[in-house]
Amino acid sequence: MAYDEYLADRVKNVFNDKRVSFEARKMLGGLCFMVDNKMCCGIHIDKKYGDSLLMARIGEEAYKNEISKEVCLPMDFTGRPMKGYIFVTPDGFDMEDDLAYWIQLTIDFNPLAKASPRKKKK
């Protein structure tokens, strides 16, 4: 298991409470939540950090406002941070209202996000 199932249930509950249709897919060593076929957020247990992290696709504008928060880290899988994505540490989503805040940021950005091109099956 590369992600916290309890946290996955909490994220699913937020999407359901907000009446947002989503799909959960195992990818990137964790679980990603897709809205309108676009990556919205995800969770995984980070080996370097040693705990669960919430990945949030919030866009570059929101990133500028949020990255300075103590609970935020740049999303960096390859040594180069991805623009418009952040990791939120457990202190940032421990409370239900805090988790809902981050999920809402991802939902707000989703209509502006571009979907990744689909890979052609061989």
Give the Cα separation of 9 and 75 in Å (integer): 22
Predicted confidence band of residue 118 (pLDDT cuts 50, 70, 90):
low
pLDDT value for 16: 97
Dump pLDDT digits (tens) for 74-97.
Answer: 988 777 888 899 999 999 999 999
Position 106 pLDDT exceeds 80: yes
Q: Residue 33 belongs to a domain with what CATH number?
A: 3.90.1150.30
**pTM above threshold 0.85:** yes
Quick check: is 33 in a domain? yes
The number of domains in the chain is: 1
Dump pLDDT digits (tens) for 44-82.
Answer: 988 877 889 999 999 999 999 999 999 999 988 777 888
Determine phi and psi for 80, rounding to 5 degrees. Answer: -135, 115
List the domain range (segments joined by +) for residue 57.
5-112
Quick check: is 120 in a domain? no
